[in-house]
Structure 1
């Protein structure tokens, strides 16, 4: 039988102990039911299989299989499309922040929390939350709220562009896998892209182009308050180093300053697990690029040779038992 002393020992290996105790636990891993991205389904399936090894029944649940509802009394409830076993914890591998918040209202322990997911899902909000925490990052400008672009003067946009330099990066506030990120090299290109995004009501951020980090960055994988491992990502053909965009990865040891900035960003955003991306500034000074709550850890696992998913589950069990 598990004891309170075991609960407090977060550094102890869990796998063998859980097998011996014949622990049977049910959890959900929620993912988006309308997003057809094979990597996400592969990642979810990987976590389900790792759960079996720890005697955890981890059910893969699409966000379209559960309907958040409020009763006449104003109570948060769920309507189910299919019969599901009551979970003792929920891994939320989606960005449906309202659903995550609803589940927390119902008393479920959700990993990552709805607040942490919200901060990471919107790049502008993420930089806002991280600001004033002594975390070095590229100079970043938030997109303005514009209701009618035809009424807006180009003076504002030109000032943004000139403030950050002749070469800038535009990132849509909501995007993954290195997509919706644009390298802009002249004023006309900048105004055209911003005009396009504004007309489509797409929030974005504008950042200075860190030329010293062209085609290379570091992905730092964190669980709890511990760095599990880091991967240098490099591309010979693209300013983005993402593996999804053709970059290649290899394991590296972090410097003290790289580890410190990654852990600080992780903690400020209140994450349980994350993938923190760092850029190389002048003299290889680490700069915070962004933080991912729903990190794609499959590429890291392949070169690491161990199960990152197992580490996540061990951490969650240590938090709830």
Structure 2
């Protein structure tokens, strides 16, 4: 099996990404994969002229067609690299990741637009344009506010303006310098100050994660800027967000950065060529071997096969409450028979739920709940991602329903004229249900129910 890595630079020690390229080369040798490292700017592209066969030259010499190409140019990807990737894709070469995807992810605003369109949680974001309107920024995003260049990597090109005066100073400086870069402005997630989670998704599965923390008290947590990374086991809701983000952006291999807020999580950004030195140290996993093994094991799939449709993801949500829970079911099943039984019961449960939504009186069906929204989304041919089947508003409605039934069950024995001791015992048992609902998993349910909807992070 032959593969290429596209990388802009010479393999010199002073370049931060070089150790990762060398790790790929080491892992490829152990897996028996011939891996060549090429600079995309040295390829000659010829289109048309009746040449339908493979005809590509590198630094003036012909090169053989690879089985796959792993692009490690990230946010620095330029037009010539995208042109090369499109040419390779047209010739049937498998790309990890593709040209369209890399171009999308390199643009932070486009990434946020794509994620928001499918309902995934992102910080409130707006495009910065000259002259900056500080009043509009204060009204829409508030202060502090995060200022980012549209393209950047390893935390470069990211600033925090603490207040309106500081923002106006920065805007004036950029305008006077006639800055050519484009900027995005984002709401500052206070609960995630100096802290986030990097999740590595490979082939639609979470393979490693680390929590990153700043050691200086600053708001940036990047390991490349002196932050510290520790192994992290993401909760199912966080893992589902990362998996759905990778699917929405059509990323085969990606690092998804997740911020904490007081009501859940938000996607900070996605990376098409994620750095993994800190993640590998934190997790202890051989990440290049994991990535290359996945490429090798899935190489027989049809070239250019599209990613799973959003509707398929919604069905996974409907039946299994998220892709990460399905993966967890696969990993924890001791045998194929147990796995098949577990799948069968979940399919039966989802089927009965769907039949209930169709046949029971509307007053008995919560059509705004997780299953109701998913079914309605499938019917209307649009994806409705659900972070949790019991979200905050659904928990509140469920609690009200449980309370009403419990109160009615508590007074029924007294109305029926039962013995006082029996009536008291039955009433106590009935009232235990709402108490149990509040005190059991998911943790913090009672606290979240008492919070005001839409509380700021």
Settle same-fold status: TM greater than 0.5. yes
| Higher Rg | 2
Superposed, which structure 2 residues align to 1:204-215 within 5 Å? 204-215=183-194
In the alignment, the residues of structure 2 paired with residue 278 and residue 63 of structure 1 have an alpha-carbon distance, to the nearest angstrom, of: 31
**Residue deviations 1:244-301, cap 9 Å, x none?**
1111011111112111111111110001111100001015x11111111100011111
- Greater strand fraction, Structure 1 or Structure 2: 1
1:231 to 193, 210, 213: 210
Measured after TM superposition, the shift of residue 239 of structure 1 is: 0.4
**Residue deviations 1:97-118, cap 9 Å, x none?**
3332232123211111112211
TM-score, scaled to structure 2 = 0.59
**Residue deviations 1:7-44, cap 9 Å, x none?**
xxxxxxxxxxxxxxxxxx21111111389862212111
Superposed, which structure 2 residues align to 1:153-192 within 5 Å? 156-192=133-169
Superposed, which structure 2 residues align to 1:31-50 within 5 Å? 31-33=7-9, 38-50=15-27
Alignment partner of 2:57: what SS?
strand
- Equivalent pairs counted in the alignment come to 288
In the alignment, the residues of structure 2 paired with residue 302 and residue 235 of structure 1 have an alpha-carbon distance, to the nearest angstrom, of: 17
Larger relative contact order (Cα-Cα within 8 Å, sequence gap ≥ 6):
1
Contact 1:50 1:310 in 2 (8 A): yes
The aligned residue for residue 311 of structure 1 is 290
* Runs of 4+ residues over 6 Å off in structure 1: 34-37
In the alignment, the residues of structure 2 paired with residue 239 and residue 73 of structure 1 have an alpha-carbon distance, to the nearest angstrom, of: 55
- Greater helix fraction, Structure 1 or Structure 2: 2
In the alignment, the residues of structure 2 paired with residue 174 and residue 180 of structure 1 have an alpha-carbon distance, to the nearest angstrom, of: 8
Structure 1 runs not aligned, ≥5 long? 1-24
Alignment partner of 1:50: what SS?
helix
The aligned residue for residue 57 of structure 2 is 79
Measured after TM superposition, the shift of residue 193 of structure 1 is: 3.0
Superposed, which structure 2 residues align to 1:1-321 within 5 Å? 25-33=1-9, 38-73=15-50, 78-81=56-59, 83=61, 84-94=63-73, 95=77, 96-144=81-129, 149=130, 152=131, 156-194=133-171, 196-197=173-174, 199-237=178-216, 238-283=218-263, 285-321=264-300
TM-score, scaled to structure 1 = 0.83
> RMSD across aligned C-alpha pairs, in angstroms?
2.2
Alignment partner of 1:233: what SS?
strand
